[in-house]
Structure 1
Amino acid sequence: MKNVKFSLLLVLCSLFLSAQKDAYYQQYAKYKMDIDVDATNFTYQGKQTLQYTNNSPDDLDVVYFHLYWNTFKAGSMMDQRVQNQGVNADGRLAAKTANGVVSRLASIPQNEEGRQNIHWIKLNGKELKFEIQETIMKVYLPEKIKSKSTATFTMEWDANIPMQIRRAGRNNREGVDMTMTQWYPKIAEYDYDGWATFDYIGREFHAPFADFDINIKIDKNYIIGAGGTLENPNDVAGYTKNPTLKPDANNKVTWKWTAKNMLDFAWAADRDYSVDSFTILDGPKVYFVYQKSEKTKYWEESKPYVTKFFQIMNNKFGRYKWPSYSFVQGGDGGMEYGMCTMILGESKSLEGLCGLMFHEGAHSWFQQMLATNESEKPWLDEGFTSYAENFVMNQLFPPKSPQPNPFVESLARYADFTKTGKEEPAVWFADHHDNGTAYSFASYVKGELFLVQLGYIIGEDNLSKVMLRYYDEWAMKHPTERDFMHIAQQVSGMDLKWFYNYWINTTKTIDYGIKNVKYDGNSTTITLVNKGTMPMPIDFSILTKDKKVINYNIPLNMTHTWKKADIYGPIQILAYWPWTQQEYSFTIPYGKEQISAMGIDFSQRLADVNPEDNYLEVK
């Protein structure tokens, strides 16, 4: 009996340890940096202390850092990728010449190359061996960082601020002196899948949450915009009416910034910046840091729209977590960072500026608070952000002609692109798409339409519940697509694995149509056909002569249950349509004289690539 009890105890301990090993965890870092900027020569000296907490169940014998700026030079992997892609390359990285498309990186002058020169790195005071693999630094540890322990790294380095090619660098096209993004040696994320050591080829990022304590010494004439809390606004220019500048012997002042529980710390500096701020009721304090001119006149007009943006986002997708948010003029378009974004400031319209601000601001939800690995799953970040952007834009800038939903244009663009033959699956890593446009459609458009299709399948009320529950369970963590799908299946009660597989892992398309209609006195028999390669449940509606809409739902057998309600009112549920069956017929108790029109998906949410045969006007 004792042996039986002992064996049972061993089994229980083994199960407990196994559960502990598979339990969710996330690493954490604390950065303290002292930065001395030589603005004249576009260089800086850096000192860093990094406390790294290993919350994983694994002992670590190496660590990895990202050195993103090392890619901004001739012959780099980014340069090679642009040259190999040719006309398919990102237009910001390539230039058209009489000899064809050439990489902009190939012509960077040597003194304007990106360089991060590591002088030394130590662990608990002991100097470490490291090797630089372009944008990745591999650091060998003489002793392992034990599970559930904290190690302290110290480091010194210097950097050359690169020519502004992609997101970071000097002298952007609007005249901003320095855009300092992904600018410091940044420890890589470690999770169940191992180290996230993606070479930087121009697209996305991933990192552990961290606290930041940053001192930036720079010429007193500069103003800095950053994602964080400025601890000494009275000692620097721009943030108070009468600052007390106390420059040192080199005519420099020190900016003291802090931030907690963020993925990164980004900043920009310029001598012509102005700083505006306003506080949103039940929201963050917002800073605008930009060059005021006729070209940036819409920034002032955007303030009430930005206010409403944060209020809508808080209500629809969960509350913004940090105390402030900064829109900073800089970079090469728009790119999100912790508590801030870098955007081009010159805009041709208020709507255009707000659309950019809303997209980058929405990344605070889908990339910053819900910190997915955007290098691996860009659609989970860019796509969900695009969905939020269009949702808010539709409310604050409603179209002149009414549309059935905010995503009609995205659906039409997607349908057109599928016919080009260039589509690539959304499952591909961000930097590994062969075609820049294909990447945009896979990540932004198909990622956005993932939620549109999900709302069509499970109902919009359920989709709203899914989005808020996703935030409630995973904010300030690193969720994956499995975590999101788990919530979607729990809320809806449906099996949705088939939908994820078709939409994300393949380029199969939806194409349904009305094949035949037979009228018989007081009834009508309708035959539908699936001409596509991706099955879906089908919403079918009729418009009666007295202007009533009757809604039917044809469930797909793979969901094993179906939505009970949706945006258009009551639904009558018909027999399910097996995914292997090409045609489907059903009879409704309405004759030809009673029907004005009929069709698949009156709401126009279904991503049917050939919707022309989805509707029929009865004459």
Structure 2
Amino acid sequence: MKKTVAILFAFIIAQFQAQQGPYYQQSVKYKMDIDVNAEKFTYQGKQTLEYTNNSPDELNVVYFHLYWNAFKPNSMMDQRVAGQGKNGDSRLQKDGISRLASIPKDQEGAQNIHWIKQNGKDLKFEVQETIMKVYLAEPIKPKSSTTFTMDWDAVIPQQIRRSGRNNREGVDMTMTQWYPKIAEYDYDGWATFDYIGREFHAPFSDFDVNIKINKDYVIGAGGTLENPSEVKGYDAGAKIKAEKNKATWKWTAKNILDFAWAADRDYIVKSFDVPQGPKVFLVYQNNEKTKVWEQAQPYITKYYQLMNAHFGKYIYPSYAFIQGGDGGMEYGMCTMILGEAKDIEGLMGLMAHEGSHSWYQQMLATNESVRPWMDEGFTSYAEDYVMNQLFPPKEPLPNPFAEKVNAYRNFVKKGIEEPASWLGDHHDNGTAYTYASYIKGELYLVELGYIMGEQNLAETLKQYYDQWAMKHPSDRDFLHIAQNVSGMDLKWFQNYWINTTKTIDYGIKDVKYDAKSTTVTLINNGQVPMPVDFSIITKDRKMVSYQIPVNLTHTWKEKDVYGDFKTMPYWPWTQKEYTLTIPYSKDQLSVLGIDFSQRLADVNMENNFVEVP
């Protein structure tokens, strides 16, 4: 009887774990040999890929991304840009017409797969635009590994979006998402979204990459250069080792999502070490347009020190800021950014944003195609947090995020907002995508700080990093930590803020003064319930604050860096109005209002403050 009960109990536990989806992540090791024809902007590629299936599932097919297949007329990316017209990404169009439609035939992107084998056996495969489906010769069983080998050639596309040849600043090659890249497989299945122009997702991988290219080129990449004394630009005493006028660059990287590089004859390379941080490489064309880069070192050093202290330690040995691409885009251990900058603050704003992706796109590798708000939004939060300290505003703001709150407030008035929960490539309006992913994603954290207190938010971000760095967390994982740290129920807020476009709108409806007190009636004109921080400033310049919790959290904010609060009875979310009486008469009051910290993303500020005559 006891044995039967034990077996039954084990069965029930196993079923529960299966339903919950026990955490795992796949393991990938790439070894590549690349031969670049710089004159024709093509390359030949050979690749060996060791794939370990750590999932509980048997895999009968695998998928690869062939991103460059998007850069040609009538591709899905071209169709999407044409369909959106002037509402789409301005970098992909000119006067509302897709730039992809006019790419010359010899500059179309192409990744031509010659063959792929599994453990030496030829495999059948289908190329479906930017996705390659591969039928396996033998299933990959759970907890087992297999080896793929493949041979392909590629045409480096005209630079339209992120990748490509001859960007607008004259960089010869921006090589990003440039190789057949195996897709991520997790509890949600294969991550096989077509590339339409937005974001990426991939398993953590190790890379061993040999790039053979004309010896006059300098390469910047996200990784470790293993032979700096044999190539141009990294070692002043280098003796370039060339064969048939080509040098071979040997790069390695461990546990990153992708390997990216760029090449140009005019690059210079500068490097420095951040104390307790990475070795930083600046790879750029040294000319009048890039002279601001000379000022960057002390700011980058302080940037990493601030990020390491507040958001978790950058774990990789190096990071490269590389001139290339079409704006700014993050990759493993590097970013591609345009080189021209008006001033050091503008350059550092771009560097801080792209660098912060190392936390929320790389180390905390959420699926940014599905939840772009977790990557772009959290990254933007880190960017503003750090930039506020690197370049303190001339006129102090109530908080580092006040400008973003105000930008959101103004955007909502346009009536084109789309929910942050939409898939990255499926937003109908380019500006709406930006606000859903960057702004609302950032304000998700700002509003959480308002609801549960900044100390609790900082602890949540720290624990999020500690528990989930080098994994693939979801919003559910982050929310679980936030609720544990704060003791609050926060599911309601996430649902409103991420899944809807409903707005916050509280106001002061009425104020009545008595001989020894003042009675204030507040009103909720919005659709999103929130706690209310109500404050007064007295005639003798003292501030007194009251916290009116919303009953949905069931636990109230105990402290906040913006001051101490006297906690009032909660405001039921179903109740339209709320009245409180404070022990101050009219002649004692100067100003009273809602949220002096200006973190609350209230869409109508006109009725939030009252100056007492």
TM-score bracket, normalised by the shorter chain, equals over 0.9
The one-character-per-residue Cα deviations of 1:397-420 (angstroms, maximum 9, x if unpaired) are: 111111101111111110111111
The count of corresponding residues between Structure 1 and Structure 2 is: 611
Cα distance in 1, alignment partners of residues 57 and 241 from structure 2:
48
Give the residue type in structure 2 aligned to 1:248.
Answer: E
Q: How do residues 167-316 of structure 1 correspond to structure 2 at under 5 angstroms?
A: 167-249=162-244, 251-316=245-310
**Mean Cα deviation higher: 542-551 or 113-122:** 542-551
Cα distance in 1, alignment partners of residues 589 and 496 from structure 2:
35
Give the residue type in structure 2 aligned to 1:55.
Answer: N
Cα distance in 2, alignment partners of residues 46 and 18 from structure 1:
44
Candidates 146, 155, 168, aligned match of 2:141: 146
Partner of 2:111: 116
Cα distance in 2, alignment partners of residues 529 and 106 from structure 1:
53
Q: How do residues 340-359 of structure 1 correspond to structure 2 at under 5 angstroms?
A: 340-359=334-353
Give the residue type in structure 1 aligned to 2:64.
Answer: F
- 1:525 alignment partner, SS class: strand
Shift of 1:11: 1.6
Cα distance in 2, alignment partners of residues 500 and 558 from structure 1:
12
Partner of 2:37: 38
Give the residue type in structure 2 aligned to 1:501.
Answer: N
Give the % identical residues. 70
Answer yes or no: is 1:383 the counterpart of 2:377: yes
Shift of 1:246: 1.9
Q: How do residues 501-516 of structure 1 correspond to structure 2 at under 5 angstroms?
A: 501-516=495-510
Which consecutive unaligned segments of at least 5 residues does structure 2 have?
none
Candidates 325, 344, 364, aligned match of 2:319: 325
Give the residue type in structure 2 aligned to 1:550.
Answer: V
Partner of 2:101: 106
Partner of 1:463: 457
Q: How do residues 520-539 of structure 1 correspond to structure 2 at under 5 angstroms?
A: 520-539=514-533
Shift of 1:7: 2.6
Partner of 1:28: 27
Candidates 464, 467, 475, aligned match of 2:469: 475
Cα distance in 2, alignment partners of residues 524 and 116 from structure 1:
72
Cα distance in 1, alignment partners of residues 8 and 330 from structure 2:
48
Give the residue type in structure 2 aligned to 1:118.
Answer: I
Cα distance in 1, alignment partners of residues 209 and 161 from structure 2:
24
Partner of 2:3: 6
Shift of 1:16: 3.8
The one-character-per-residue Cα deviations of 1:65-88 (angstroms, maximum 9, x if unpaired) are: 000000000000000000100110
Give the residue type in structure 1 aligned to 2:448.
Answer: L
The one-character-per-residue Cα deviations of 1:240-261 (angstroms, maximum 9, x if unpaired) are: 0021112112x00100000000
Shift of 1:609: 0.5
Give the residue type in structure 1 aligned to 2:272.
Answer: F
**Mean Cα deviation higher: 479-488 or 400-409:** 400-409
Give the residue type in structure 2 aligned to 1:491.
Answer: V
Candidates 392, 395, 399, aligned match of 2:389: 395
Cα distance in 2, alignment partners of residues 541 and 568 from structure 1:
11
Cα distance in 2, alignment partners of residues 225 and 87 from structure 1:
34
Cα distance in 2, alignment partners of residues 360 and 568 from structure 1:
29
Partner of 2:535: 541
The one-character-per-residue Cα deviations of 1:136-169 (angstroms, maximum 9, x if unpaired) are: 0000012210000011000000000000000000
Q: How do residues 405-416 of structure 1 correspond to structure 2 at under 5 angstroms?
A: 405-416=399-410
Shift of 1:28: 1.0
Cα distance in 2, alignment partners of residues 6 and 119 from structure 1:
57
Cα distance in 2, alignment partners of residues 28 and 428 from structure 1:
29
**Root-mean-square deviation (Å):** 0.7
Answer yes or no: is 1:588 the counterpart of 2:582: yes
Shift of 1:302: 1.3
- 2:606 alignment partner, SS class: helix
Cα distance in 2, alignment partners of residues 7 and 443 from structure 1:
52
Candidates 15, 21, 25, aligned match of 2:12: 15
Extract structure 1 runs of 4+ deviating beyond 4 A: none
Answer yes or no: is 1:157 the counterpart of 2:184: no
Cα distance in 2, alignment partners of residues 545 and 579 from structure 1:
33
- 2:243 alignment partner, SS class: coil
Which consecutive unaligned segments of at least 5 residues does structure 1 have?
none
The one-character-per-residue Cα deviations of 1:199-228 (angstroms, maximum 9, x if unpaired) are: 000000000000000000000000000000
Give the residue type in structure 2 aligned to 1:558.
Answer: L
Q: How do residues 126-141 of structure 1 correspond to structure 2 at under 5 angstroms?
A: 126-141=121-136
Answer yes or no: is 1:486 the counterpart of 2:480: yes
Cα distance in 1, alignment partners of residues 480 and 168 from structure 2:
44
- 1:182 alignment partner, SS class: coil
TM-score (norm 1): 0.98
TM-score (norm 2): 0.99
Cα distance in 1, alignment partners of residues 130 and 198 from structure 2:
13
Cα distance in 2, alignment partners of residues 569 and 31 from structure 1:
53
Partner of 1:78: 77
Shift of 1:569: 2.3
The one-character-per-residue Cα deviations of 1:99-139 (angstroms, maximum 9, x if unpaired) are: xx210000000100000000000000000000000000000
Q: How do residues 555-594 of structure 1 correspond to structure 2 at under 5 angstroms?
A: 555-594=549-588
- 2:242 alignment partner, SS class: coil
Cα distance in 2, alignment partners of residues 63 and 483 from structure 1:
27
Cα distance in 2, alignment partners of residues 535 and 15 from structure 1:
40
Cα distance in 1, alignment partners of residues 240 and 387 from structure 2:
42
Cα distance in 2, alignment partners of residues 455 and 408 from structure 1:
13
Cα distance in 2, alignment partners of residues 304 and 280 from structure 1:
9
Shift of 1:20: 5.0
Cα distance in 2, alignment partners of residues 105 and 457 from structure 1:
45
Answer yes or no: is 1:433 the counterpart of 2:432: no
Cα distance in 1, alignment partners of residues 550 and 442 from structure 2:
22
- 1:119 alignment partner, SS class: strand
Give the residue type in structure 1 aligned to 2:515.
Answer: G
Shift of 1:6: 3.4
